Amino acid sequence: MPKQRQTCTRCSQRRQKCDRKSPCTRCVLNNEAHLCTTVWKEGYNPAVHRRYPKKPSPTTSQSLTDPSTSAEVSPSSGIPWPAGQIPLHFRSKAPGNQSAGDASRGGSISTSSDGVAGSSDLPNTSSNNVDFITYGRSEFTNISMGTLLDNKEEYTRHQSLMDETLNQSRTKTVLDEAATETFSPAAQAAEVYHLQSVLPTKEQVFQMIDYHQNCMAYWIGGIYHGPSLRQALLEAYGDNGHFDLRCHDWRWCALLFSILSASIIGSPEEVSNSWGFSNADKLKLSRQWGNSLISCLQLGDFASRHHIYSVQAILNMHTSEHLVGSAKEWAVYQAASTVIARGLGLNKLGRHPEDQMSPSEMTTEQKDALIQREIGRRVWSALISQDWLCSTSQGMYTQQKRHYSSIPPRHFDEETWEPVVSYQKPTFTHVSNYLNEIAHVLVRYLDDMMDAGDIESKYNVVLRYDAIMRGLCIEKMPPWLSLNMPHNNDWPEWTKWVRRSYHASCAHKIIMIHQSFLGRSFKDPRYTYSRWACISSAKTVLEAMEKRLPNEPQWWVEQAFVVTAGLCLGLDLFHRAEGEPEAIKDLECIQKAVQILEQWPTSSVAAHGIRLLTTLLQEHSKKADASRSESRAKDPEFPPNIAPQAIADAASVDSPRPSPVPLPPPAPTELPISDEVWANGDFDIDMSGFEELMDTLPLQNGFDNSVFLDTLWNGYTV
Calculate the alpha carbon distances from 523 to 373, 526, 644, 651, 684 in Å: 53, 9, 18, 12, 21
**8-28 mean pLDDT:** 85
Quick one: pLDDT at residue 163? 42
Is 701 or 499 the better-scoring residue by pLDDT?
A: 499
Query: Percentage of the chain surpassing pLDDT 90?
Result: 46
> pLDDT tens, 192-228?
999 999 999 999 999 999 999 999 999 999 999 999 9
Where residue 565 falls among pLDDT bands split at 50, 70, 90? very high
- Tell me the C-alpha distance between 455 and 450, whole Å: 11
Range with the poorest average pLDDT among 203-217, 348-362, 625-639: 625-639
Domain parsing of the chain, residue ranges: 9-49, 75-91+108-176, 185-344, 352-492, 523-528+535-656+673-713
pLDDT at 717: 32
What pLDDT score does 562 carry? Answer: 95
Higher local confidence (pLDDT), 148 or 597: 597
The pLDDT tens digits of the residues spanning 421-474 come to: 888 889 999 999 999 999 999 999 999 999 998 999 999 999 999 999 999 988
Cβ atoms of residues 72 and 157 within 8 Å: yes
Residue 99: predicted pLDDT: 38
* C-alpha separations of 671 from 515, 651, 688 in Å: 16, 21, 22
Close Cβ partners of 75 (under 8 Å, ≥ 6 residues apart): 115, 120, 150, 151, 154, 155
Quickly count: other Cβ atoms within 10 Å of residue 264's Cβ.
29
Question: What pLDDT score does 284 carry?
Answer: 92
In this predicted structure, the answer to whether residue 359 has a pLDDT above a threshold of 80 is: yes
Q: 419 forms bridges with which residues in the sheet? A: 412
pLDDT(115) > 60: no
Q: Give the model's confidence band at 180: pLDDT under 50 very low, under 70 low, under 90 confident, else very high.
A: low
Cα dist from 312 to 260, 315, 357, 381, 392, whole Å: 13, 5, 27, 12, 24
| Residues facing residue 278 across a β-bridge | none
* Position 48 confidence tier, pLDDT thresholds 50, 70, 90: low
Mean pLDDT calculated for residue range 256-280: 94
More confident residue, 544 or 393: 544
| Residue of 188, 183, 165, 173 lying closest to 31 (CA atoms) | 173
- The 10s digit of each residue's pLDDT in 319-334 is 887 777 677 788 889 8
**Cα 583 to Cα 595: distance, rounded to the nearest angstrom:** 19
